[in-house]
Structures are given as structure tokens and as C-alpha cells.
Structure 1
Amino acid sequence: MPHDHHDHDHSELDDMTARVMALETLLAQKGLVDPAALDAVIETYETKVGPRNGAQVVARAWTNPEFRDWLERDATAAIGSMGFTGRQGEHLQAVFNTPDLHHMVVCTLCSCYPWSVLGLPPVWYKSAPYRARAVREPRAVLAEFGVTLPEGTKVRVWDSTAEMRYIVIPMRPAGTEGLDPEALADLVTRDSMIGTGLALTPEVAA
């Protein structure tokens, strides 16, 4: 199963990238798309309406018990209070990793994804192999992402739909007690909020 950050078979990713580039070139040549405007849209979703938003949500949950409780009760409202709303961000549920339980998100039917907090979905999230295997063999999929959980940790897979999308709140890494929310947000990766990764340790993020 191809991922965009591992040394596996990238044929699907490469094929998708080639198709997108060809389509973009054709539309630009016909004057239907302004490449600069397209780059601006992508930049917005990658940096503003993207994983950085979700990372701020996680960091706040790690440092503010009241916000954490609100996030658990009503993620849509709690996240909306931070100004992160919009497309595919209307119906959100936060699920919290613990030493005993690891959460992982997939959309088995298409590619439902919380754009307001995670940005654009990665290619592998939309791929048929991930959508099928995440449900059947989640531990094997996690291992391919470099995540090996203790044998006693259960894995729960959440299936996103148009009615409900999920954000995983990863466990706070040890040794981060003195970090402020901004520094903590730097430890939160997109994959950790999908459940296919873990939050970074300060040493790795440095």
C-alpha cells in the first residue's frame, strides 16, 4: 500500500500526481485556470485550513482540561470556538488515544475528511488499499506507517461519513511538561490526527 512518506511502492501516488499535473497544465494552457491562484488555494489548505489548525486543537486539549472536556462532549462546537469551521468541518468527533486504546480513522466509502482541521486528505487516505485494509488489518497498516503498538493496546477504527468526521487526539509525549501550546503544536503531525502516526517527541521535532 503506497504512502507518501515511506519507501514503499509509490506507483499509485506517482500516477495520481502525473494525472493531476497533466490536467493542471491543460487547463492553464486553455486559460481556464490561473496557476498562481491554484497555488494560493493549495497553500491555504495546506497551512491555514490544514494540519496546523488541528495541531492547535490538540495542543489546547493537552494543556486545558476544560477545553479537553468540551472537545470530548462536542468537538464541533469546541473546534468552532477556535475559528476552525467550514467545508467538511460541520460534524466532528474527537477520539482520544490512551495507553490502552489507539484510534485510527478511515473512510471506507469515499474520502470523507475534516478539511477544517486537517487540510487536504493525503492520496493514500483516498486509496482503495488503505480504505479496505485499515478495517481488516489495522495493526499491519499501522506497522507500514512505522507505528508498532504494545500488544495490550487495542485498536479501534472509525469510519468517517458525510454525517460524522473524526480527529484523533494523540497522547502527549513524555518530557513536554515545560512546553507552551505553540511548541506542543509543533509535535502534532497530520498522521497522528488520523491515527496512522504518533505525536513527535521533542528530540525528533528539534
Structure 2
Amino acid sequence: MHDHHDHDHDNELDDMTARVRALETVLTEKGLVDPAAVDAIIDTYEHRVGPRNGAAVVARAWADPAFADWLRRDATAAIASMGFTGRQGEHMVAVFNTPEEHNLVVCTLCSCYPWPVLGLPPAWYKAPDYRARAVREPRAVLAGFGVTLPETTRIRVWDSTAEIRYLVVPERPAGTEGMDEAALAALVTRDSMIGAGLPRAPEAA
């Protein structure tokens, strides 16, 4: 954990994508990888166990104080109670944004990420630029994502590891009183659950 961006990743991401595609081609030609199986795995994590799961968790925390308290105390169990479990989500910690403190998640060594609640990590999350600068200059990183916070708001950076993965619970947007969990979940973005973004305003959903 650390108490401490512009994005200039394009060349790195292009290189990374090229290396992945080259590796997949070689493995496919050798008969070691079935492209259809790879596509099915990607589809599962992008569309079926992707960020919508995390959004449901956040919406329940916003709507149910008892669940929010459970999520603070034992995120793994609280998330599992909603049926969201599996590889890369065995040991979860939920961190809550407040007006005084904003949380940002990074994996400084590789790309540890909570797949069951957020799906596959975005390319920028894996980029060396983000992994390095999120710790050194998180306020600049957030500005690069369009998130400008008051100088009085402390930014807390959490280093995701193979042992622990984090879910950021963003602040509930104003004007959402009376909205049900489904409507609230529609406001939650993937980036807001990493800390690199904010939820949608109700009028923008």
C-alpha cells in the first residue's frame, strides 16, 4: 500500500498486442491452442463475469448499509454471497471512496486483477507507464483519466498482488435517492471500481 499519468502508452500497447498475437499464432500452428477456446474464455470474462458483477456489488453496498459493512469487514465472503467467486478473486478487499480519501488500484509487478468482479484487465492497467506512475504521481494519473480531485482529498494507492485483490467502492452519486439496485448498477463504471474513474451521474445513465 502506498500513500501517494497522462497516458503515453500507445506504442507500448501496440508492441504488447503484437507480441501476444505472434505468440498465439505460433501456439495455434503447433496445435497447442484452440482459437475458439481462447475466444470463449475472453467472451466469458468480458461479457458474463465482467464489470457488471462488480457493479452489482457496488450497487448493493450503496443501497444496503448492512451489506456495505460486511463488504468492509470481509469482502471475499460478501462478494461470494452474490455468487461471484473464482480464480483471481479468492482474496478480496473492498476500499471505499469518501470526500476525504480516494482509492486507486495498481499492480506494480504485473497485472493482478479481480477477474470475477471486473472481468479482464484493460490494456492500460497492464502498461508499464500506469504501473510505475500510479505510485509516484497518482494525482497526475487521475488527471489523465479526466478525474480532478480537490487538493484536500487524500489519494491512497493499493498494490494488488497474487494474494490480495482490491475493489474500489466509489462514492454514490448525488441525486440517486430512491433508485433500485439495477438502476444504481448502471451508474457504476469499470474504471470507477479501479479508482481511475468516477460513476456516471444519474442523468447520464
Q: Same fold (TM over 0.5)?
A: yes
Which stretches of structure 1, 4 residues or longer, exceed 3 Å deviation after superposition?
25-32
CA distance in 2, matches of 1:20, 1:135: 27
CA distance in 1, matches of 2:78, 2:9: 39
CA distance in 2, matches of 1:169, 1:158: 13
How much does 1:181 deviate? 1.1
Q: Which residue of 2 aligns with 1:80?
A: 80
How much does 1:10 deviate? 1.2
Greater relative contact order (CA < 8 Å, ≥ 6 in sequence): 2
- Which runs of no fewer than 5 residues in structure 1 stay unpaired? none
Using the TM superposition, name which of 133-142 and 196-205 deviates more: 196-205
Q: Which residue of 1 aligns with 2:111?
A: 111
Q: Which residue of 1 aligns with 2:143?
A: 143
Which amino acid in the other structure matches residue 89 of structure 1? G
Sequence identity of aligned pairs in percent? Answer: 75
Q: Which residue of 1 aligns with 2:172?
A: 172
CA deviations 1:54-75 (Å, max 9, x no partner) are 1110000011111111001100
CA deviations 1:99-140 (Å, max 9, x no partner) are 111001111222221111111122221222211111111000
CA distance in 1, matches of 2:130, 2:9: 13
TM-score, length of structure 1 as denominator length: 0.90
Using the TM superposition, name which of 67-76 and 10-19 deviates more: 10-19
Which amino acid in the other structure matches residue 203 of structure 1? E
- Which runs of no fewer than 5 residues in structure 2 stay unpaired? none
How much does 1:2 deviate? 7.5
TM-score, length of structure 2 as denominator length: 0.91
CA distance in 1, matches of 2:136, 2:33: 41
Aligned pair 1:183/2:183, yes or no?
A: yes
- CA RMSD, Structure 1 to Structure 2 (Å): 1.7
- CA 1:2–1:136 in 2, change beyond 3 Å: closer, same or farther? closer
Using the TM superposition, name which of 183-192 and 20-29 deviates more: 20-29
CA distance in 1, matches of 2:92, 2:119: 14
Aligned pair 1:55/2:60, yes or no?
A: no
CA distance in 2, matches of 1:41, 1:155: 34
